[in-house]
Amino acid sequence: MNATRLIAIRHGETAWNVDTRIQGHLDIPLNDTGRWQAQQLARALADEPVAAIYASDLQRAHATAQAVADATGAPLVPEPGLRERSFGALEGRTFAQIETELPEMALRWRKRDPHFAPEGGESLTALRARIQATVHRLAAHHAGGQVVLVAHGGVLDVLYRLATGQELQAPRTWQLTNAAINRLLWTPEGLTLVGWADTQHLDTATRDETTT
């Protein structure tokens, strides 16, 4: 089977990114900076051959993807499988609030316990399984072509780990910048990293939040 080229994008900035507030499955819109980032991203990808654009159905990702769709003419398909990790009871809280109000939960989160799931939320192992299955399905459908995936920080983190063999609990040493361009190659054997965190199209400082 031919390889599929993947362009993986984290959505543009939101007000909650700035506030370090956990978004998870809450449907938070882009802020002004995020909308600008989406337009810059769209210009950067305008001449790329793109078979399809798949985006998380949360509006911060969908709006980012819409800008790329408008620039490339590629069809945009909502894909719930690309949603951010569900953080359940932690959603809506800032990092500082979690540390103060839920210290035991905060500790397990900081240690990247792969089996820890916030009340009503999703574990890292469950997130990895979801993302791996979703990307395999989408990439196999476009074998030999190129697709754009627009998602979230947690999703991009999993993609990097899958492509590089990093364990879920390994400390992160790579960036998850809003609207950066990340490139991977998919084959039935798995993912390979091609390029990561390209921000040349963004000429002002961007934010790199950890889990929102």
Active site residues: 11, 84
Written in H, E and C, the secondary structure of the chain is CCCEEEEEEECCCEHHHHCCECCCCCCCCECHHHHHHHHHHHHHHCCCCCCEEEECCCHHHHHHHHHHHHHHCCCEEECHHHCCCCCHHHCCCEHHHHHHHCHHHHHHHHCCCCCCCCCCCCCHHHHHHHHHHHHHHHHHHCCCCEEEEEECHHHHHHHHHHHHCCCCCCCCCCCCCCCCEEEEEEECCEEEEEEEEECCCCCCCCCCCCCC
